[in-house]
Structure formats: structure tokens, C-alpha cells
Structure 1
């Protein structure tokens, strides 16, 4: 998760922070350079960039992510909460396209690309029905998302501060996610190992239906996490310090 959490943290590092000498700055409007530079940062700094407040990219932890909530009169039939989740795989991301990276801060910035494999490792609580079958459990979970493709849009507002520099005030983040495969392993379903194994087998055989069921909640959680990180970093680092003079 938080595929976009990593990508946009890197974007903020690139656009708002002081790049290390080994990372060449881009000309304003050079979308190819921006995409390649963000990808290069992903590869070069999997442990993060402390100078700009960017945390490690190869392992991101967070708590209390609501993936699905039952709706009395709606289509959602499952309560699913993740606790103490660690996400791995963002450091292998590729940014294929970058739009809106001009000298004058636009209202909308966009990044598109893919992540070969995302792993979500943590603890879950689940109750309700899935694939029309009753389901409940609490315990360890491992979710592997294969070939996760993303397109994220960030709405930003220019803010001129007392230091004479412009900052990007992040107003909203919205991402679209699509995947080419998913493998699930929820332990302790029904407090019975045999039933748990059987339910996991059914879910993995019908992974695409599971993804469509959970995609809205996963994407919403990603949006909130990305927005939170962007706001903290953008508040500290000026937009004006990005492009090549």
C-alpha cells in the first residue's frame, strides 16, 4: 500500500528539497528528466534522505488502516482493519510519466508508473462476508500485490512565505490503482487452521474479485496517507529550490 505514499514522498524530495550533488536537477518542464530522476532516487536511496526528512523507502510502517467498512444499505459487506502493517517494495518503483512539473507551480501534478511487487505484512481484524461467504478472524496477514500500476494526481496551491520563497500547499491527493495479480494469506480465520487454509485458497483462486471488492478502501487509505506525508514535507521544503537555474 501506500504505493503512492513512497512515490509522492520522493516527488516532494525532488521538487521541494535540496537534491544531493550526485542527483542532477531538471530543467523546468522536462517531464522525462523528472520521471527518470524520481526513479533514480528510488534506486539510490532506499533508506531515505534524512536531510529532507524523507524516511526509509524500503520499509514503511503504519497503523490502523481501514480497508473496508460494512454499509447497512450499500454494497460493502465486510469490516477489514489492518494494524501495525509494514509495506515493502516501494524502492523498486518505476516512474514512467510525470506531468505538470513547470517553473510556475500548477494546480495539478501527476505521476504514473508501476511497482513490481508490494508486500503488506501485519495484523488484521475481519468480520462480515466475502464472496457471499461469512468470514471472520484476527491474526497475522500477508498480502502480495503484483505489478501494481498507479496514476496519482496532486492538487497544490502556491504559498509565498516570509523567506521570499514559494511553497506547495497540498490540497488533495487522488490515486488510481490497478494490479495484475494478488496473493493473500490471512491466518487464524474462524479460529481453525483447516478452514483458514481453505478460505485462503478460495480467495486466491478468485483474487480479481477480491481486488475489486477491496480496491476502493485500499485506494482511499493510500490517498490519506500520501496526503499526510506530502503536507508535512511540503510545509518544510520550498518549491523554488528544485529546478536548475
Structure 2
């Protein structure tokens, strides 16, 4: 494997010539959470959500496998805040769980490994990377959430239910891993490609022999 370093890039401000590239915040049209099994079952949709916190990402290692040009990157994010408007049907034990309104979800202590598949293209006499696919392995150390207007705004039930969800966040973990990782994967592929299509590959990785490739149309 070959280690590499990114050129300096500010995830909030972008970089010279690419100020429109931002990791933080990310705006998403719709997110879906489905979790069935155990004492807590959720089927929740979050519309017009905003995801904040990616600018605090700390890259631990970044490596490339020369045989297939796949990238393996491990990183840490202290916390991510997801806000939006939710609609939900579910249950806690035998208690129906119904509501719609504003929500906030905050996973924390996120250790992740990203696996990216890439290929190359040539443009203007330079060879560039192109990310074709990304998958992620996530591990959380904590999570808290608050769902407003549960049970049509009956405050004692709303607060008790939110407390129960927070006390049992590990029961929701598998559902929320997919919920958190999918938008990261989709948006990072789009954002990384905007960045990688701007910087020639030789400035990202200096010790790998780049192939002869066809010119991008």
C-alpha cells in the first residue's frame, strides 16, 4: 500500500478555484430510517435535512492499493448533527410510536473506514482520478436525538419517549449506521470527484506509475 497526503483543503471554505465545494453543511432532500426487531421499531422519513459536522473530520490514514487503485481511508468525526422535519410510525415494546415535526439526531465519536474504487481519465494532457464507488464501515461511541411533536405534542409522553430512545440508542444503532453512512457515501463521491477532476493525479500520489488512458469526452 502507498500512503498519500491531500493538498491543503478547507472543508468549510473549499479551495482556490473550487470555492463551491463544501463538505459542511450538507443539504439532503430526504433520508429514510427503517429498523425492525428488538424492543424498538422505527420507520422514519426526514425531509429537507441539514447535516453538520463534517468539517471537524480528522484523517488518520489514507492508503492506495497499487494493484487496483482502490483507496482505503480511516478517519474520525467527533460528532455529526442532523436536523430536519421527520414523519414516523413505529413502536417501543407494544406502545405505538407516531409523530411528525422537527428533529435533531447527533451521533458522536464516529470512527470510520472508507473504501473507494477509482479509475483514471485523461484531460488536457493530464491524468485524473475518478471515484466510481464508496462504502463505509462506521462505529459510534454515542448518539442522542430529540423528536418534537410525538403523540401530537403531548409533552409528558414526548419527553418520556425521547428519554427512552436515548437510553436505548444501541438498539437503534444498525438502522442509524445506514442512515448516517449513505448520505456520506453519496455526497463524498460527488464532492471528491469535483475535487479530483480539478487536481491532476500526479499531485495527489507521486510514487505510483499512472496508466495510459483514453481522453475524457
Shorter-chain-normalised TM-score: which range?
0.7 to 0.9
> Is 1:117–1:146's contact at 8 Å kept on the other side of the alignment?
yes
2:31 aligned to which of 45, 59, 65: 65
The structure showing larger relative contact order (alpha-carbon pairs under 8 Å, at least 6 residues apart) is 1
- Structure 2 unaligned blocks of 5 or more: 208-217
- Alignment check: 8 A CA contact 1:46 1:91 kept: yes
What stretches of structure 1 move > 6 A for 4+ residues in a row? none
* Residue 111 (str. 1) matches residue 73 (str. 2): yes
Alignment of 1:26-37 (within 5 A): 29-31=2-4, 34=5
Alignment partner, residue 171 of structure 1? 132
1:193 to 2:176 alignment: no
Which residues in structure 2 correspond to 1:34-183 (within 5 Å)? 34=5, 41-42=9-10, 46-49=12-15, 51-68=17-34, 78-100=42-64, 106-129=68-91, 133-161=95-123, 163-183=124-144
Say whether the 8 Å CA contact 2:3–2:64 is kept in structure 1: no
Report the TM-score, using the length of structure 1 for normalisation.
0.71
Larger of the two Rg values belongs to structure: 2
Change (3 A) 1:171 1:244: closer
Deviation at 1:133, TM superposition (A): 4.3
Distance 2:193 2:84 in 1: 26
Residue 172 (structure 1) shift: 0.8
Aligned residues: 204
The unaligned stretches of length 5 or more in structure 1 are: 1-28, 71-75
TM-fit CA distance, 1:208: 1.1
Higher strand fraction (1 or 2): 2
RMSD of aligned Cα (Å)? 3.0
Name the CA distance, whole Å, in 2 between partners of 1:130 and 1:214: 16
Residue 184 of structure 1 aligns with which residue?
A: 145
